[in-house]
Amino acid sequence: AQTVTQSQPEMSVQEAETVTLSCTYDTSESDYYLFWYKQPPSRQMILVIRQEAYKQQNATENRFSVNFQKAAKSFSLKISDSQLGDAAMYFCAYRSGGGADGLTFGKGTHLIIQP
């Protein structure tokens, strides 16, 4: 079974600074997808960014980018120019490329933005 580990229960960053959230995963599969979801206080789950394992290029979405290290099974999220609205729980998630389609989530990192 796949596992996803987020080793930082909580992170704090000053507004406008850059922060990196860590995620590692364990799998024996070669075809899979990785995601970062944001859960603000409203509890809504919002997709931030996704990465296909077969793509070497790191995904980028505006101020959000990932550092995908397939050999190390590492998938970190970098948030640039942090904004107050970025304050939320961030979950790293894994999905198999075929067969079972459910997401496996890490335990989350609570991101605090200091004004």
The least distance separating another protein from the CB of residue 14, rounded to whole angstroms, comes to 28
Across-strand partners of 91?
37
The least distance separating another protein from the CB of residue 11, rounded to whole angstroms, comes to 18
**Distance from C-alpha of 29 to C-alpha of 43, rounded to nearest angstrom:** 31
Checking DSSP bridges between strand 109-114 and strand 104-105, what pairing results, if any? unpaired
Ramachandran assignment for 108, one of left (phi > 0), alpha (psi -120 to 50 degrees), beta (any other)? left
The least distance separating another protein from the CB of residue 2, rounded to whole angstroms, comes to 11
46-75 mask for another protein (x: CB under 8 A)? xx--x-x-----------------------
Binding site residues, another protein, CB under 8 A: 31, 33, 37, 42-47, 50, 52, 91, 95-108
